[in-house]
Chain A
Amino acid sequence: MKIGMMLIVLVASVATGESKFESAIMKGKQLLFAEGNKAEDYQNAVNYFERVANKESEEWLPRYYQSLGTAFLALRKEQVDEKEQFLQNSLEILDQADEIEKNSETIALRGFIMMLQLSLDPATRGQTLSPIIFGKFNEAIEMNPENPRAHLFLGQMEYGTAQFLGIGFDKACELYQKSIELYEKEQKNENILPDWGFQTAEVSLKNCEQ
């Protein structure tokens, strides 16, 4: 199975004239976003991107995916302390990505990880972290108004705030709608850049319709 997949990637890369780096990222994306991934699969993907990142020290993408994979891994951990540690670790890896290139995607990912940190202790962290997280997603949208993830997560923050205060979800749902449109545009040309989160956006929007 794995050899089969590698073959396809290999063939695809030859067919499209991708560089070795690009095909390496494509392969990593397959590992990271494979359906039914368990903790060990995420660890495997994280390790893979760590190797690519160490070789390609001028590229932000491998660090980006390494950081994202570490955040996914954190979600699979059972102990809260472990979750905390992996999220912290994921932010540190993202710092390395930012040193190479800080852009709309790395900023949105930082907001996403902080959102996960917030969810571990909303009562305490809500007040201090919320404005920072909102700030990250707004900054990400400002840098790239076409970033569907920044819209999706900003929507999730708005949703959480509305839920906490018992007010309407209009603001959140508009953002979800917008993110779906942007995801659809994004998915027309698959490449090495981040394109994850579409399913989450669909589920989120469904919550709105209920």
Chain B
Amino acid sequence: MFQKVYLFFFVLLGFNATAQIRVSGVVADQNGEGLIGANVYLKDTYDGATTDSKGKFQFETYEKGQRRIVVTFVGYESIEETIDLSVNVELVFKLKESFNDLEAVTITAGSFETSDKKRVVVLKSLDIATTAGATADITGALTTLPGTQKVGESGRLFVRGGTAEETKIFVDGVEAANYYSATSTGVPSRSRFSPFLFKGTFFSTGGYSAEFGQALSSTLILNTKDVGAENKIDVSLMSVGFETDVARTWKDQTIHANIGYTNLTPYYQLIPQRIDWTGDSQGFTGLVSYAKKLQSGATIKGLVMGNSSNFGFDRSTITTQSGRETVRLQNQNIYGNVSINLPVGETDQLYIGYSRTQDYNQIRYNELSVENPTVNQHFKAKFVHEFSSKTHLNSGAEIFTEQFDEEVNTFDKSSFEKFNPSVYSELSHYLNEQIAVRLGMRGEYENAIESTTFSPRVSMAYKLNDFSQLSLATGQFYQTPGAEYLKITSDFNSEKSNHYILNFQKIKNDRIFRTEAYCKDYNHLVRYQDQYDPSTFSNAGEGFAYGLDIFWRDRKTLKYVDYWVSYSWMQSERLYKDYPEHATPTFATGHNLSIVAKRFFTRWKTQMGATYSFSSGRPYENPNLEGFIESKAKAYHDLSFNLAYLPNPKVIIYASATNILGVEQIFGYRYAPEQNEAGVFESEAIQLPAKRFLFIGCFITIGTFNNQLENL
């Protein structure tokens, strides 16, 4: 039998009537090390071989004459050469490593990326919803990262000695002005946007790209979800209201609608409060978002969100003559944005985006009544050109506008209009996989104060080894003074800051360590002697902040437990507003620590999380003492807890509590305007409206459009 087969084989060979040529040789890298697994073959034939452990290969072919030989190997640049196949040939190939932007160094100075694409990141999208103490608030979760300060009574993001106004927030590339819910002194605000809208977050604590401007300290860039696979109706019943959410996906488009109603009044009646809430504390939210992916690869996204909220309270205070403080607030807010990402040619990208925020506040504060409608718009276009996989040029133009009107007690009117066109261009270049450089320049003109500014930005990164890297960033940042000043006078320059950041990061085996040292100077900050007298205003203010941030996240050491620790040390002083001398502002604290831990208990189908936060005492001004902002409140501690129980795939029961230990949390003191009979200014502590916040909710998927899934 075998003989017959062999015979047959030779007969077949005979038909071909020619002898085979042997092609052999070695494939090696630039250092001459043999590469195992490379593919060596003759183009347009099946003939070829894979290199062995020494990089050697050998194959036979019936091809004759001049032929193209190809060598390919993952991670290396392919080679194609012409060889002559008249006799056996022996070849040596040296492959060059190809540039792989996934392997290459990334500039991490000042930036935290939240994404689910990479396996090991500082924060995952889901973390925002599951961090204890954050109560599913984006900014609440971000304050567990280093570089942020805990300013509990505000609820906003304070970054590295900057005020909340120094952080600019963008959704899908365009501004989300009035990002925080409207509130009054002492009642913390929340993000208007649900964390579930976003697939990823880019949070920069400084030294950010020239693409972004009008922010002295920080940018927060939120990216909404792409066309997905969601097809369901969810209902949430919560201790503070209810919400309905519908998501429908067709082949290449997703539409998502959400309606919510919150009413805190029953909750306030149940849980003891420090202030007397008056009237209903309620809010309505409606949202529609849309994402579509076109055949060409272009994506279109749009979002419209409307919010209406009102609340009021009455509390005793020593800061007014009457001894009472009465606040009533109504807010209406409509935000809309639309953006398109368009591939141009093989590698270029065009982006066009627009957003508009219309905000209307009606506030009554004791005898004072204030109404302020504001409209913000942002137009943006950018073009990213790829010269090569190593070199990109990102250029763009944008316009920010703001129209502000305010009426106090229906007669005292003030208004201003801002018109801020800007252009920028930024070159990103990888010298190789180890070194990346980014050079940018931004030019802005601010119509309201007739100011023209140019801000250069530079950052670079150097990969030390497979796991660690160093990066640094520096640049100039400008911002137009805020509405509270522009309504008084327009005789200003732009406020300015310079950032210098050095970052080290190591990622290995599901653990991240990063540390960052920074220094920030402020110039041209607004100063005044009398906040109602325009003639006392100037840009003579200044300040600085420097410090060290440390972050550690570990998903490996403790089985099933995911935890992170953030610590920030900071020194900051300012001479601004009506400060008579340099002083540490009341929102800046020297030490901030957060420890966040989560664990899923499979047996109980429950995820539990705990967050411990500490910050050293808040500085405050005590008029009874010599000096300015000379005092410090006691340190802040908070231990928060949450749990999510999943009894079946369609139900999640969620509960959370802040400050479970009931520690007294004090954010500073307020003083009476006049001395009492004993010649002392009396004080009261600044605290949250309640000792704790408790939340219980039940999220139920009541329907699905995906019938196939159900039928199987």
Contact = CB atoms under 8 A, between A and B. Distances in A.
Interface of A: 7, 10-11, 14, 24, 40, 43-44, 46-48, 50-52, 54-55, 80, 84-86, 88-89, 120-121, 123-125, 127-128, 131-132, 134-135, 138, 141-142, 154, 161, 164-167, 171, 175
8 contacts: A11-B9, A14-B12, A43-B37, A47-B37, A54-B70, A123-B562, A131-B229, A167-B648
Nearest to B8: A11
Contacts of B602: 164, 166
| Chain A interface SS verdict (over half) | helix
A124 B116 contact: yes
B46 A24 contact: yes
B41 interface: yes
Most A C-beta atoms less than 10 A away, residue of B9, B39, B44, B230: B39
A2 to B, nearest CB: 11
B116 A40 contact: no
Nearest to B38: A47
A7 B49 CA distance: 18
Contacts of A14: 8, 12
Given A125-B116, A132-B228, A135-B229, A165 B605 contact: yes
Contact of A161 (B49, B116, B649): B649
B648 A11 contact: no
Contact of B102 (A46, A85, A125, A175): A85
B712 interface: yes
Given A40-B36, A166-B605, A55 B46 contact: yes
Contact of B228 (A85, A88, A128, A138): A128
B708 A142 contact: yes
Contacts of A135: 229, 706
Nearest to A120: B119
A8 B271 CA distance: 82
Contacts of B44: 54-55
Contacts of A131: 228-231, 706
Contacts of A51: 39, 41, 45-48
Interface of B: 5-6, 8-9, 12, 36-39, 41, 43-50, 52-53, 70, 72, 74, 102, 116, 119, 124, 126, 199, 228-231, 562, 600, 602-603, 605, 646, 648-649, 706, 708-709, 712
Nearest to A57: B44
Most A C-beta atoms less than 10 A away, residue of B44, B70, B600, B708: B708
A85 B126 CA distance: 24
Given A84-B119, A131-B229, A165-B605, A54 B43 contact: yes
A50 B708 contact: no
Contacts of B709: 134, 138
A44 B49 CA distance: 8
Nearest to B6: A7
Contacts of B712: 138, 154, 171, 175
Contacts of B37: 40, 43-44, 47
Contact of A43 (B47, B50, B126, B229): B50
Nearest to B44: A55
Nearest to B116: A124
Nearest to B708: A138
Closest 6 CB pairs of A and B: A47-B39, A131-B229, A43-B37, A44-B50, A138-B708, A47-B50
Contacts of B43: 54
Nearest to B72: A50
A46 B706 CA distance: 36
B254 to A, nearest CB: 11
Contacts of A121: 119
B53 A40 contact: yes
Contacts of B50: 40, 43-44, 47-48
A124 B228 contact: no
A137 B232 CA distance: 19
B45 A47 contact: no
Contacts of B41: 47, 50-51, 54
Nearest to B231: A131
A127 B230 CA distance: 10
Most B C-beta atoms less than 10 A away, residue of A43, A51, A52, A135: A51
B141 to A, nearest CB: 15
B710 to A, nearest CB: 10
Contacts of A44: 37, 50
A48 B119 CA distance: 31
Contacts of A84: 119
A192 B562 CA distance: 47
Nearest to B560: A123
Contacts of B49: 47
Given A51-B45, A161-B649, A132 B229 contact: yes
Contacts of A175: 712
Contacts of A40: 36-37, 50, 52-53
Given A40-B53, A175-B712, A55 B74 contact: no
B553 to A, nearest CB: 13
A176 B28 CA distance: 46
Given A55-B46, A121-B119, A124-B119, 10 more contacts: A40-B52, A40-B53, A47-B49, A51-B39, A51-B45, A51-B47, A123-B600, A132-B228, A134-B229, A166-B605
B388 to A, nearest CB: 19
A9 to B, nearest CB: 11
A24 B46 CA distance: 8
Contacts of B8: 11, 14
A7 B708 contact: no
B46 A10 contact: no
Contacts of A88: 102
A71 B8 CA distance: 38
A128 to B, nearest CB: 6
Nearest to A163: B602
B124 A124 contact: yes
Contact of A11 (B5, B102, B230, B562): B5
B542 to A, nearest CB: 44
